[in-house]
C-alpha cells in the first residue's frame, strides 16, 4: 500500500496566520507575566514559529502529553510524559496546542494547570476540528477550523511520521 500526502493548508497560509496570532498575543499580554506552555510533541513546530512573532518578555515551558499513541483515535487517557520545569503560580499561562479535536487533552491540561494557581490560563491552538468535540473548551487564539479529517504535518504525526512536513496535509492511501 502506497501513501501520499495532499496539502490542506499550505506553508504560506500558516506563516501568515501565525504572524497574526503573534501580533494579537503581543497586544493582549503587554505588562503581564506570559508563560507559553508548549504541549509536546505536536506543538513544537507551531510554538517555535509563534514565539518569534511575540514581541514581549516571556518564558516558554514544555508539557509532554500523549493520548493518541499510534492510533488516529484518542485513547481518552491523557498521559503526562514531561512536566513543567518551574512553577507558574501567579503567571499568565497560554497553552499552545497544534490541534483541539475531541477536546479531551486540552480539558485535562487546563484542569492540571489550574491546580498550579496561575493568574490566568488561556488556550492557543493552530487547528480546531469542531465536528469531533466531546468536551467544549474555549479556544482564545485559533489558527484554522478544519473538517473531520485526520491531518498531519507542521508537528502533527501519524504513528510518529510526517511531523517534519512544512504544511498541514491529509494522508491518502492507495492499494
Ligand X SMILES: O=P(O)(O)OC[C@H]1O[C@H](OP(=O)(O)OP(=O)(O)O)[C@H](O)[C@@H]1O
Ligand Y SMILES: Nc1nc2[nH]cnc2c(=O)[nH]1
**Catalytic residue annotation:** 101
Q: Is 99 in the site for ligand X (CB under 6 A)?
A: yes
| Smallest distance from ligand X to CB 132, Å | 7
Of the two residues 88 and 99, which places its CB atom closer to ligand Y in the complex? Answer: 99
Q: Which of 73, 152, 62 is nearest to 109 (CA)?
A: 62
Write the DSSP string, 21-80: HHHHHHHHTTTS-EEEEEEETTTHHHHHHHHTT--S--EEEEEEEES-TTSSS--S--EE
Contact segment (CB under 6 A) with ligand X among 19-27, 63-71, 83-91, 138-146 equals 63-71
Closer residue to ligand Y (CB): 34 or 99: 99
Give the one residue of 11, 67, 84, 116 binding ligand X; rule: CB under 6 A. 67
Q: Choose which of 9, 18, 34, 42 interacts with ligand X (CB under 6 A).
A: 42
> Is position 68 an interface residue for ligand X (rule: CB under 6 A)?
yes
- Choose, by CB under 6 A, the member of 74, 116, 120, 150 that binds ligand X: 74
Nearest Cα to Cα of residue 150 among 96, 40, 43, 71:
71
Q: Which of 5, 14, 98, 167 binds ligand X (CB under 6 A)?
A: 98
Q: Whole-number minimum distance, CB 58 to ligand Y, in Å?
A: 26
How far is 133 from 23, CA to CA, in rounded Å? 28
Q: What single DSSP character describes residue 131?
A: G
Residue 65 sits in the site that holds ligand X (CB under 6 A): yes
Secondary structure class of 110 (helix, strand, coil): helix
Nearest by Cα to 45 from 5, 96, 121: 96
Q: How far apart are CA 25 and CA 92, in angstroms?
A: 12
The residue from 99, 104, 123, 168 that contacts ligand Y (CB under 6 A) is 99
Q: Which helix (H) or strand (E) holds 108?
A: helix 104-114
Residue numbers at the binding site for ligand Y (CB under 6 A): 68, 99, 101, 150-152, 156-158
Residue numbers at the binding site for ligand X (CB under 6 A): 39, 41-42, 65-68, 74, 97-106, 157
Amino acid at each position: 500500500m502506497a501513501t501520499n500526502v495532499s496539502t490542506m493548508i499550505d506553508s504560506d497560509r500558516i506563516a501568515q496566520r501565525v504572524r497574526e496570532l503573534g501580533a494579537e498575543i503581543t497586544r493582549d499580554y503587554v505588562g503581564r507575566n506570559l508563560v507559553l506552555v508548549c504541549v509536546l510533541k505536536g506543538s513544537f513546530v507551531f510554538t517555535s514559529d509563534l514565539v518569534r512573532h511575540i514581541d514581549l518578555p516571556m518564558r516558554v515551558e514544555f508539557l509532554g502529553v500523549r493520548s493518541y499513541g499510534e492510533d488516529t483515535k484518542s485513547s481518552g487517557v491523557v498521559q503526562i510524559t514531561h512536566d513543567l520545569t518551574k512553577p507558574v503560580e501567579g503567571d499568565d499561562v497560554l497553552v499552545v496546542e497544534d490541534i483541539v479535536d475531541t477536546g479531551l487533552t486540552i480539558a485535562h491540561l487546563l484542569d492540571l494547570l489550574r491546580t498550579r494557581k496561575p493568574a490566568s490560563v488561556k488556550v492557543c491552538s493552530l487547528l480546531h476540528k469542531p465536528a469531533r468535540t466531546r468536551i467544549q473548551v474555549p479556544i482564545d487564539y485559533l489558527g484554522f477550523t478544519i473538517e473531520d479529517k485526520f491531518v498531519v504535518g507542521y508537528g502533527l504525526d501519524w504513528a510518529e511520521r510526517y511531523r517534519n512536513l512544512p504544511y498541514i496535509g491529509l494522508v491518502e492511501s492507495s492499494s
